[in-house]
């Protein structure tokens, strides 16, 4: 299913080299001011063009197809459409049969029995995340005064990563990275025990972003090496404020009023400029693949705003659910 959320619900569709990509947001409360200009900052953060990201420059102009009237949300589904403009399908002809390592070419072909739109990764393209970012813009308005900030912690293992990016680019290689995300002003009581824990829902949404391979809350994997006496966050007062935040703001799956904090691991970009040995699934024989086209040396650089968007969508959903039971 290409949708997520219980009350605030996000649906995405579209392909990299088709007509465009879209998102339908269901369950947005009425009366929220919303204009095209509101999308600009976050779309620009996701967009290509910076060092280390692909040269494909979609203008990413959202079209509001429904759900907004006289500058405010109506309560009806909000449909947003992004026309594709710079498709250079010729760049991708080879990957119809010569499946790119690290990509979804093989799994998509197998799952959809060869009927998938293989051009540029089709439905699997990072291009689809433009809709997620747009949904996030709306969600961020709903969750105010919660404030989400995702930042790059390291790229290719380095905190000062500009040099590493340049070097990788020169080598025809690619890098991954680690993003951290913090949410301030989180109310106590979002989430549920077990299946709808904040960790469950956030990880579900974050792992929906292509290329994410790890999600860890609070001290995360380091927590596994702590003693309980060190890990337990001590209450400072009756507000639930704690001296430390090893739990990342979540106890028993429920927000405890301290900042949410989690880390996200992004794998290196799959499309490398170096020739790679692979398999030709048409000729059924090994071959050497030279990927052309425009690709990020490190798409992790564009991921923070997408993580913020997914986080905002989950929190908007949980906030509405909390209101239902208050």
Q: Per rule CB under 8 A, is residue 268 in the interface with a copy of itself?
A: yes
User: With binding defined as CB under 8 A, does residue 152 bind a copy of itself?
Assistant: no
Phi, psi angle pair for 315, to nearest 5°: -70, -35
Cα–Cα distance, 53 to 55 (Å, whole number): 7
Environment class of residue 55 by beta-carbon count within 10 Å: exposed (0-12), middle (13-18) or buried (19+)?
exposed
Asked if 256 interacts with a copy of itself (CB under 8 A), we say: yes
Contact 271, 103 (CB under 8 A): yes
Which one among 178, 186, 260, 312 touches a copy of itself, defined by CB under 8 A? 178
Contact mark string toward a copy of itself, 92..131, x via CB under 8 A: -------x-xxxx-xxx-xxxx-xxx---xxxx---x---
Quickly count: other Cβ atoms within 10 Å of residue 308's Cβ: 27
**Residues from 33 through 62 that contact a copy of itself (CB under 8 A):** none
Residue 39, CA distances (Å) to 16, 78, 101, 136, 191 in order: 20, 14, 34, 9, 28
Pairing mode of beta strands 254-255, 177-184: unpaired
Q: How far is the CB of 319 from a copy of itself (least distance, A)?
A: 9
Nearer to a copy of itself, 41 or 297 (CB): 297
41 or 158: CB nearest a copy of itself: 158
Name which position in 173, 180, 293, 294 contacts a copy of itself (CB under 8 A).
173
Give, in order, the Cα–Cα distances in Å from 132 to each of 52, 180, 206, 311, 312. 22, 18, 11, 10, 10
| Binder of a copy of itself out of 11, 95, 245, 311 (CB under 8 A) | 11
Residue 89 near a copy of itself by CB under 8 A: no
Among residue numbers 273 through 312, which ones bind a copy of itself (CB under 8 A)?
274, 276-279, 281, 284, 300
Q: Which of 38, 40, 72, 91 binds a copy of itself (CB under 8 A)?
A: 72
């Amino acid at each position: 299913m290409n949708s997520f959320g219980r009350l605030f619900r996000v649906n995405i569709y579209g392909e990299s080299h088709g007509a465009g990509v879209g998102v339908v947001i269901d369950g947005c409360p009425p009366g929220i001011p919303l204009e095209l200009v509101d999308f600009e900052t976050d779309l620009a953060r996701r967009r290509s063009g910076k060092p280390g990201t692909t040269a494909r420059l979609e203008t990413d102009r959202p079209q509001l197809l429904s759900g907004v009237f006289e500058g405010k949300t109506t309560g009806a589904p909000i449909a947003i459409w992004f026309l594709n403009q710079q498709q250079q399908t010729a760049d991708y002809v080879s990957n119809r049969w010569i499946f790119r390592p690290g990509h979804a070419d093989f799994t998509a072909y197998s799952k959809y029995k060869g009927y998938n739109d293989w051009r540029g990764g089709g439905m699997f393209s990072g291009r689809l995340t433009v809709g997620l970012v747009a949904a996030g813009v709306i969600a961020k308005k709903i969750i105010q005064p919660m404030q989400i900030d995702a930042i790059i912690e390291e790229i290719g293992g380095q905190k000062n990563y500009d040099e590493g990016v340049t070097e990788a680019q020169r080598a025809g290689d690619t890098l991954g990275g680690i993003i951290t995300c913090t949410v301030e002003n989180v109310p106590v009581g979002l989430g549920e025990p077990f299946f709808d824990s904040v960790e469950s829902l956030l990880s579900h949404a974050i792992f929906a972003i292509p290329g994410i391979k790890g999600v860890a809350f609070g001290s995360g994997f380091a927590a596994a090496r702590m003693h309980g006496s060190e890990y337990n966050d001590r209450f400072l007062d009756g507000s639930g404020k704690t001296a430390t935040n090893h739990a990342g703001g979540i106890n028993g799956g429920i927000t405890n009023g301290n900042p949410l904090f989690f880390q996200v691991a992004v794998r290196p970009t799959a499309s490398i400029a170096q020739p790679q040995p692979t398999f030709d699934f048409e000729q059924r024989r090994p071959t050497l693949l030279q990927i052309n086209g425009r690709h990020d040396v490190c798409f992790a650089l564009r991921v923070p705003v997408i993580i913020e968007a997914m986080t905002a969508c989950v929190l908007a959903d949980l906030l509405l659910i909390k209101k239902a039971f208050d």
